Chains A and B, each alone.
Chain A
Amino acid sequence: MTAEVAAAVERAYRHEWARVFAAVARLTRDFDLAEECTQDAYAQALRTWPQSGVPERPGAWLTTSARNRALDVLRHQAVLRRTLPLFVPDGPVAGPEDDLVDDDRLRLVFTCCHPALSRDAQVALTLRLVCGLSTAEVARAFLVQESTMAARITRAKKKIAAARIPYQVPSPDHLAERLGPVLEVVHLIFTTGHIAPVGAFLVRRDLVDSAVGLARMLHLLMPKDAEVGALLALLLLIDARRDARVSDDGRLLLLSEQDRTRWDRRLIGEGIGLLTDALRRRPPTRYAVEAAIAAVHAEAPSWPETDWPEIVGLYDTLLQLWPSPVVELNRAVAVGFRDGPQAGLDALTPLLAEPALATYGYLSAVRADFLRQLRQWTEAAEAYQESLALTDNEVERAFLADRLAEVQLRSGHEYP
């Protein structure tokens, strides 16, 4: 019974935290008090559910409990000295027709990702307040001391209160520009989790799950927004490969090496459905094109049978929507597969002078791979060494070290 209750509370923590916290925050107009009351409600659930049983709607139970606790505190507030001014409350969400669901979670996420906050602060607040990660967990994810992260979160809360960043969903004419940073934060949390920059684990499940959960929540609340649907599609299509990305001995597997039977077909189907819907709306967005690239990979029966001309074409589109050296690099990779390693190497050459890629280990790794295929062993070895020097993730390093050993062996055995 107790184990069952503990599991139910944990499930409610994962799925209902944002709903409970966001509702209480609108009442308290103070994030610190709302956090306290939300934590109290979960603690109370652990105490009372073993006797009373798990309620039918745990989220509603927790929200009521947290709100009651908040009302109690607010009644006695006259005697408390406030450290922060209250933030600005808001009426119902003024959504155009049914494009938005009136939900406190939307107010919360738009407030946490307000452009007047730095990106670091947006990400930290979103993980702490919307996803309910502890300060220690957020600190670990971004490789900073817990005290540093605590200070960052406190500073961001102070700015929200002192500059009076409103607790509201932006008006329809500002919605598109305000949604941009929200989606970027979700995408950043996902990519940070998907390729943890440092350490022994290639994937940080908690971050990936937080990002997918956020994208699902946004899609639920903004079902008609094509860009939200496209981002969710992208995350699902990439996450579908998670069981196939690392070998049993912990080695990173390239897309070409992955066992495609281990891809999650249910997630792929869901992602493609969302993408099809998003692509029906014009114009295509950045995330839709990225999701389309992931979908082409997901539907290819094998690596050699991938539709490379389609992939190159999609990267061309993406470059127009989202010009970036990293996209150019990925395009060059696809060109290499469409037209052979020499063409890929040629497409890569202009990028070698790109300062934004100077410390990007992946560029050297891709170059090394083309050189390896061209049997230019010495140059390939140099490129692998360069890539190793720029990569901190231990699983990726192990992969590069293997390849380096392979080309070094070959270079010793073949005459120039």
Chain B
Amino acid sequence: MAKYLVLIYGDEREWAAMSPQEMQKLHEAHRAFAAAAGSARLGGHELAPASIATTLRTDAAGQLTITDGPFLETKEGLGGYYLIEADHLDEVIALASRLYEVSAGHSGVEIRPVGTHE
């Protein structure tokens, strides 16, 4: 078994402008995802908007800098994630392809195996 992070990316403004019907479809898809995943879903959340994010870096002088906003300023940002346990990639693809964010034009889902260092 291996762990995968399912990262949901999209345009926050498009998400904010969703109609109630679209919103309902999105939530239904997440419920269907949770039902299909069962105990394979180890965790997952929707994230607060990127504008709420706080980013930490170290400047050239080695001093901690704290800035307002996400690490990468992009139009499409990370909107949510799931942590999934699965035997192989095809299982995760089958699960994640149920998500509404896969079919909406502005958004998509990235699957990343959790690093294993043996």
What B residues does A165 contact at CB under 8 A?
88-90
Q: Can you give 17 A-B contacts (C-beta < 8 A)?
A: A85-B118, A88-B88, A114-B89, A162-B113, A163-B89, A163-B111, A163-B113, A164-B2, A164-B86, A164-B88, A164-B89, A164-B113, A166-B87, A166-B88, A166-B89, A168-B90, A174-B90
- Top 6 A-B residue pairs of the complex, sorted by shortest distance between their CB atoms: A166-B88, A88-B88, A164-B88, A163-B89, A165-B89, A163-B113
Excluding A85-B116, A116-B89, A166-B89, 19 further A-B contacts by CB distance (< 8 Å) are: A82-B118, A88-B87, A88-B88, A116-B93, A162-B113, A163-B89, A163-B111, A163-B113, A164-B2, A164-B86, A164-B87, A164-B88, A164-B89, A165-B89, A166-B88, A166-B90, A168-B90, A170-B90, A174-B90
Cα distance, A163 to B87, chains bound together (Å): 10
What B residues does A114 contact at CB under 8 A?
89
CB distance from B108 to the nearest CB of A (A): 14
Q: Which residues of B contact A (CB under 8 A)?
A: 2, 86-90, 93-94, 111, 113, 116, 118
CB distance from B24 to the nearest CB of A (A): 26
Beta-carbon nearest neighbor of B111 in chain A: A163
Cα distance, A164 to B113, chains bound together (Å): 8
Main secondary structure of the interface of B (DSSP, over half): mixed
Beta-carbon nearest neighbor of A173 in chain B: B94
What A residues does B113 contact at CB under 8 A?
162-164
Q: Which of A144-195 contact B (CB under 8 A)?
A: 162-166, 168, 170, 174
Beta-carbon nearest neighbor of B86 in chain A: A164
C-beta contact mask, A75-102 vs B, less than 8 Å → 1, else 0?
0000000100100100000000000000
Cα distance, A91 to B108, chains bound together (Å): 32
Beta-carbon nearest neighbor of A170 in chain B: B90
What A residues does B116 contact at CB under 8 A?
85
Interface centre among B2, B90, B113 (most CB of A within 10 A): B90
**Count of chain A residues with Cβ under 8 Å from any Cβ of B?**
13
Beta-carbon nearest neighbor of B93 in chain A: A116
Q: Which of A113-161 contact B (CB under 8 A)?
A: 114, 116
Interface centre among B89, B93, B111, B118 (most CB of A within 10 A): B89
Main secondary structure of the interface of A (DSSP, over half): loop
What B residues does A164 contact at CB under 8 A?
2, 86-89, 113
Beta-carbon nearest neighbor of B116 in chain A: A85
CB distance from A55 to the nearest CB of B (A): 36
Beta-carbon nearest neighbor of A160 in chain B: B89
What B residues does A163 contact at CB under 8 A?
89, 111, 113
CB distance from A84 to the nearest CB of B (A): 10
CB distance from A19 to the nearest CB of B (A): 24
Cα distance, A165 to B90, chains bound together (Å): 7
CB distance from A170 to the nearest CB of B (A): 7
What B residues does A162 contact at CB under 8 A?
113
Cα distance, A116 to B88, chains bound together (Å): 12
Beta-carbon nearest neighbor of B1 in chain A: A164
What A residues does B111 contact at CB under 8 A?
163
What A residues does B93 contact at CB under 8 A?
116
What A residues does B87 contact at CB under 8 A?
88, 164, 166
What B residues does A168 contact at CB under 8 A?
90
Cα distance, A88 to B94, chains bound together (Å): 16
Beta-carbon nearest neighbor of B87 in chain A: A88
Beta-carbon nearest neighbor of A178 in chain B: B90
Cα distance, A163 to B86, chains bound together (Å): 11
Cα distance, A221 to B93, chains bound together (Å): 26
What A residues does B118 contact at CB under 8 A?
82, 85
Cα distance, A170 to B86, chains bound together (Å): 16
What A residues does B2 contact at CB under 8 A?
164
Cα distance, A166 to B87, chains bound together (Å): 9
CB distance from A178 to the nearest CB of B (A): 9
Q: Which of A322-372 contact B (CB under 8 A)?
A: none
What A residues does B86 contact at CB under 8 A?
164
Cα distance, A85 to B93, chains bound together (Å): 20
Cα distance, A170 to B93, chains bound together (Å): 12
Beta-carbon nearest neighbor of B112 in chain A: A163
Cα distance, A178 to B113, chains bound together (Å): 21
CB distance from A29 to the nearest CB of B (A): 12
